Every structure is written in structure tokens, then in C-alpha cells.
Amino acid sequence: MTHRKLLYLSATALEILALILLSFANPEKLAFELCFSRRVFHFYCAGCGATRATYALLHGNFTAALHYNPVYTLILLPLFAYFWTALGIQIFFPKQRFRLPIPGFRWAVALLVLLVLYSLLRNLPFEFFQGWRPE
């Protein structure tokens, strides 16, 4: 087994282990805030609520996951799964003609702009944006 395959399988095993551990540890009941930007700057970043959303998804509660972080639940998590699968196909089947298409630079910039706007809007003091906070 090549080094790349072993590294990919090890990282996948660690991800699965982390998800198993998270399924037993409710982030709502922690005595401290996990998010660095929330704890230090009192600012909701684009990732705030992602741990709670993952916990909710692990327990089959899609509605709660959407409440905690809709951008993570609907965009970032599926994108991560897609890229992780594409990487696995490239590592395990390098001579295969089948490749998952990888979005280009414009998609990355659009995603970055979306994340920055989402971070800024969910921190505005207007009532409309209060629901975007993972509280």
C-alpha cells in the first residue's frame, strides 16, 4: 500500500472516530464555547454552529442542523464530502479515466465571498439576521 493510500485511509478513520465521539458528546452541554472567534471576539464566524449542526445531523435532526448553520449544512458539508470522494478516487484509481470534476478558481472565490458575507450578515443587529445566529 502506498504512502498516499495509507494517509487517506488513516485520515478517514480519524474522521469517523471523531464523528463517533461527537455523537456521544452534546456540544450544547459543554461548559465553554468551542468557537475561537465567538469566545475571543464575540463574533459569529461562518463556522459557528457547525459542531452543533454535525451533532444534530448525526442524530437525524436536519431541521436543527439548518438552524445552527445552514451554509455549513447545505453547502460546506456536501462540498467536503464531494472533494474527499474525488481525492479518494484519484488516490485509489490513478489510471482510471473517470474523474470527478473539480470546480475552478471562480467557484472558490464565490464560496469565499459567500462565507464572508454570511459571517458579516449574521452579526448585524437587525431582527431579520438574528435567526442566522446559532443560539
Listing DSSP states for 36-63 in one string gives: HHHHHH----TTTTHHHHHHHHHTT-HH
pTM (2 decimals)? 0.84
What residue spans define the domains of the chain? 3-130
Please tell me whether residue 104 adopts helix, strand or coil conformation: coil
Whether pLDDT at 71 is above 90: yes
- What pLDDT is recorded for position 135? 75
CA max distance for the chain: 55
* Least confident among 43-52, 65-74, 91-100, 123-132: 91-100
Whether pLDDT at 107 is above 80: yes
Q: How confident is the model at residue 9 (pLDDT cuts 50, 70, 90)?
A: very high
- What pLDDT is recorded for position 4? 92
Whether pLDDT at 100 is above 80: no
